[in-house]
Amino acid sequence: MDNSYLSLEGKVALVTGGSRGIGKEIALTFADAGADLAISGRKLQDLEKVANEIRKLGKRCLPVSAHARKVEELKHLVDQVVETFGRIDILVNNAATNPAMGPIVETDEKIYDHIMETNLKGYFMMSKFAGAIMVKQKSGNIINISSAGGVSPAEGLGPYCISKAGINMLTKALALELGSYNIRVNAIAPRIVKTSFSEALWTNEALMKKELELVPLKRVASPEEIARTALYLASTASNYMTGHVVVLNGGAFF
């Protein structure tokens, strides 16, 4: 069977938060599909390990240290990718944070600002910088890693859910503005994914007992499942799809 519609051969992809978890798996999946990669994160040493895995797949990889809350570093990141590869075909906004759990009325302002600046403003600025390159190219693809919590709220994760709801609207607004430039913008909104980022959730037996009662598939998602959805959105298999938030929640309705 011809599956060339899933090929990313000749494409350049930039994945933020690419040193671990969902971001790492997306980067490796894209490389396996033929793309050259740029990956970013705070720790260059961790990025280099992933870059070496990508190079073993026969693809080029540029690891760049960049903090999601430092706008000048995000601009430098995009500039470096263009300088190295000459273009950006795919941007995956994945770098995120959630430093606290608890009621909104007890949330410190600094915690709120930290979450919003990382999760929402970080995605906004990366989309602005990379989107400008894509407009000049008259082609591109932006994939935002959101959360099912941005569609339906999760108790104790208010600010995080609010930031992800903002990402969902950012996705739709960008799709509206950039469609005429042949740029597609979609989001993936998983429920719980088995990564170190969400370890506090999937290792909590009481929480997981309640969670699996709500999820018909009776398990949490794997990073590979998120990455393969990202590959679908990045490839020509989804060419007429833009402005969508793909919710991966194992069948849960809330």
Catalytic residues: 160
- Asked whether the beta carbons of 94 and 17 are under 8 A apart, the reply is yes
Q: How far apart are CA 204 and CA 212, in angstroms?
A: 12
What's the CA dihedral at 29, 31, 32, 34 to 10 degrees? 130
